[in-house]
Chain A
Amino acid sequence: MRPPSPSIPEKEFIQISLQQSLRIDGRQMLEQREPSITFGPELGWVECGLGKTKVIAQIEAKIVKPTPERPYEGIITIHSELSPMASTEYDTGRPTEEEVTITRMLDKVIRRSDTIDKESLCILAKRRVWHLRLTLHFLSDDGNMLDCGCLAGIIALKHFRRPEVEVIGDDVTIHPPTERAPVPLAMHHTPLCLTFAFFPPSPTSDTTSALVLLDPSYLEQRLSTGLMSVALNAQRELCVVHKLGGVPMEIGEVMGVLDIAVKRAKELNRLVEDKLEEDWNTRKRIVEVR
């Protein structure tokens, strides 16, 4: 079923209130919803939430034969599917436009930006490599599932630890976590995705540049005249800039958006690191005693 578009009063009210820099959930225009991060009992299981948007990310690792084209590299696959669980709008079967966008962005942000050192996933060249499978479950949709999904995926990768493997000659020994402490994945950087929504400026103001807001809610996302997703890491390295149609923007506006993203990415990165450390401190004892 095609989702019913928001009603006229909703549309008008959102426009009027945004022109007065008021957002319906009381946020500032460039304020992100505070991410809630919960770790599961297993390593590599994380539930991430932005407001009411909720995503679970989970990592599984298994040993497979590498592809003949890349015999020295491990394999990473990302599985993300929007089920009707997220919202009544999503039906099983044909993927919606949003689902395709999310899947492709996740691929760009997590896989193609070289987040994971794939060569470190190689155990025995041409014969044994690690295959990481990242599964994302979208539990509920309150807008901006892309940022939430990316964040969940990245945190899960950072949280995950694979069993240690010992190679002697051609013999591969996998040490279970009870014998040797599992090792974290070798990661090059931590890309974070931030989505901006644009709204037309108020007709009475003399500026022509669009109203910019960070982390749109469901209604804002549906009613915006354009979305732009930026993926970058805390070291100011830009990975992806993604803008599918929508309102045209000038160079200055895009640069302004990027500056905001750089600032926010740093804060977000710190938050992620803190949360991971906090969680690791509760586990350390258990892992080392073993």
Chain B
Amino acid sequence: MNILPGEQVNAQHSKLKLGPGLLQISVGNASESAPQPIIATRAGTLKHSSNRSKWWIESNSRRYVPAAQEAVVGIVLQRLGEGYRVDIGTAHSASLDSLAFEGATKRNKPNLKAFPLLSFPACVGSLVYARVSLAHKDMEPELECFDAQTRKAEQFGELKGGFLVRCSLQMCRNLLDPKYFLLPLLGVKFPLEAAVGVNGRVWINAKEPKQIIAMARCIEAADPDGGGQDEIATKKLLDTLDV
């Protein structure tokens, strides 16, 4: 169902969870029979999980609005005393605390100079794969490089080598979908690595530069906001690239 900003959404569940694009507003006193209304804050398609407990709006855009628990690819802008300033494509840059790494605790504070130990950069311009740990509309977003439960790195950390592709947010979500055709299609041709952030940035790596270029071009071609090609057309393009 397509929806416009301001439209009311009839989402009801005892354990209702609202995703991007939905907002519960406060009007008068809420009661069991008449809960506070939920409105859409962006245009797109209204979706919900199979048990109708999770609701969100799906739409394509290029501007990332951070949401907690999402994986993002960021560029380190600045090193501050207690951490880093990271550009994740949002209106305000995010902060990444130096303690938000695997094995770092307050007592065992990592020596900033010994960062190779934590597989983390100390220089401006590095790429980092991180998770948004705090996304509040009135505060700057915060990142972390470990899983909050296990406190293990879980693939998060610095991304070395490779190349950064910028694409639309819908394309990022497509790439994360295991049923999406593109990455398996490329994976058949050559071994590859990819770190997909949902902030419109995808880090890719392969052995040969021309393979990386082929990946970048296929992502661009299949992007609904770029070439918008389907599987057959993308496969045809890939076949012409000689990789």
Verify B125–A22 contact, CB threshold 8 A.
no
Min CB distance, B127 to chain A, in Å?
A: 5
With an 8 A cutoff between CB atoms, is B169 at the interface? Answer: no
Is B216 an interface position by the 8 A CB rule?
yes
- List residues of chain B with CB within 8 A of the CB of A248: none
Given contact pairs A5-B125, A8-B127, A22 touches B209 in the complex (Cβ within 8 A): yes
Residues of A within 8 A of B163 (CB): 9-10, 13, 24
Smallest Cβ-Cβ distance to B128: which chain A residue: A7
Distance of B194 from chain A, by nearest CB (Å): 13
Query: Is A4 an interface residue, CB under 8 A from the partner?
Result: yes
CB nearest to A19 among chain B residues: B209
Partner of A9, one of B161, B216, B220: B161
Chain A interface SS verdict (over half): loop
Q: Does B143 have its Cβ within 8 Å of any Cβ on chain A?
A: no
| 0 or 1 for each of B45-79: is its CB under 8 Å from A? (1 = yes) | 00000000000000000000000000000010100
Which single member of B75, B210, B220 contacts A4 (CB below 8 Å)?
B75
Q: 0/1 per residue, A1-43, Cβ < 8 Å to B? A: 0001111111111001100101111100000000000000000
In the complex, B42 has a CB within 8 A of chain A: no
Of the residues B125, B161, B162, B213, contact of A24 by C-beta under 8 Å = B213
CA distance A17 to B161 in the complex (A): 13
Residue B174, interface by CB 8 Å: no
Cβ contact within 8 Å between B125 and A8: yes
User: Assuming A9-B162, A10-B163, is B213 touching A4 (CB within 8 A)?
Assistant: no
| Given A9-B160, A23-B213, 15 other A-B residues pairs in contact with their CB atoms under 8 A | A4-B87, A5-B125, A7-B75, A9-B159, A9-B162, A10-B163, A13-B163, A13-B209, A13-B212, A20-B209, A20-B210, A22-B209, A24-B217, A25-B220, A26-B217
Q: List 29 A-B contacts (CB under 8 A).
A: A4-B75, A4-B77, A4-B87, A5-B125, A7-B125, A7-B126, A7-B127, A7-B164, A8-B126, A9-B159, A9-B161, A9-B163, A9-B164, A10-B163, A10-B164, A12-B161, A13-B161, A13-B163, A13-B209, A13-B212, A16-B209, A17-B210, A17-B212, A17-B213, A22-B210, A24-B216, A25-B220, A26-B213, A26-B241
